[in-house]
Structure 1
Amino acid sequence: MKRLPQFTSLVAVVALSVSLAYWAMQLFKAPQRPINPPPVPVVQDASVEAGAALFGGQVSVAAAASNYQLKGVVAAANGRGSVAIISTDGKPSVALPAGAEVAPGVTVREVQPRFVLLQEGGVTKRIELVADDKALALPAAMPVVVPAPAPAPSLVPPPMPIENQQAPVTTAPAAAVTAMPAPVTR
């Protein structure tokens, strides 16, 4: 029994030391670094034309046109007014809408967001958009942002500033007419 107070003091000192160490670590710990998620792999959609030959079907579109390079596409939401930016044989790029002639005998048949179909002597050729590191990082379908319509103009005039407003005039019956001082304007 003589050692019970010493043992309790020892346990209390150990508990106090553990508590102080815990709270000191909580107070002086370094902030946690942000953890970047792993990069999402880019999955390209399978082409329907590529799968047509698997089951005996014929591909209606030729693989690619070698002397034409699709540099960019400005695709309209409704499909009309789309423009393809095409470079021919290393020449400067030209913006062409559907139905325009790229070279003699070669016309733009269709403009899609990722490819263009060219008609050359009865043969349809498909030109894919040039693969770019930045383009691969972007999703296939970009959201279209439509600006909100402007609010309709108000037909009610704005209120007048308080210093320009005058006090309302009240009329009293003829028998009780009293003189009122004029309002003070600053």
Structure 2
Amino acid sequence: MNRLPFLSTVAAVLALTASLAYWGIQLFTPPQRQIAAVPVQQAPEAPIDLARGLFGGQTAVAAVSNFQLVGVVASRAGQRSVAIIVANGEPAKAYPMGEEVAPGVTVHDVQARHVILLEGGVQKRIDLPAAEGVSSTTTAPLAPVNQPTLTPPPAPAQPAPSATPLVTPPPGTPVGPPGQLAPAQQPTTSR
């Protein structure tokens, strides 16, 4: 029974040490700062219209009502192409790429059958109206007619101009021999 007083003293010392450690930690630790929960914002829905053009699909194009495409002079290089546009009911004017058609509206791209205008960062497409009975292709230049023939000095051999069209017709367009008009097409509607 000698051991009972010794074990009770050791137990009391351990309890006193644990109690002092607990209250010492409670008194000397800084107070915990309040942490505000971060509000979770719902992700915006992905705009499907912007993704349509990724793999060759048609992009949604807003209708342009105050501009009408009358003609196009498209060059092979693309930088010297010109669009002939009627803007706001005024007479038709030729606008090269990059020129301002109206305040805030510039010619962004000129293709064989359409023009892309850039208005405030939004691209708008204007299609060339389909003309019945008229070919949309061009051929090699024709020889001069009824002009006197002069014998020019011999020149170094130059390759003959190619008979390829200057403007490639859209797929499915019937094309006849050079110098002959292609059959009239029915206008297609794009959606």
Normalised by the length of structure 2, the TM-score is: 0.43
In proportion to residue count, which structure has more helix?
Answer: 1
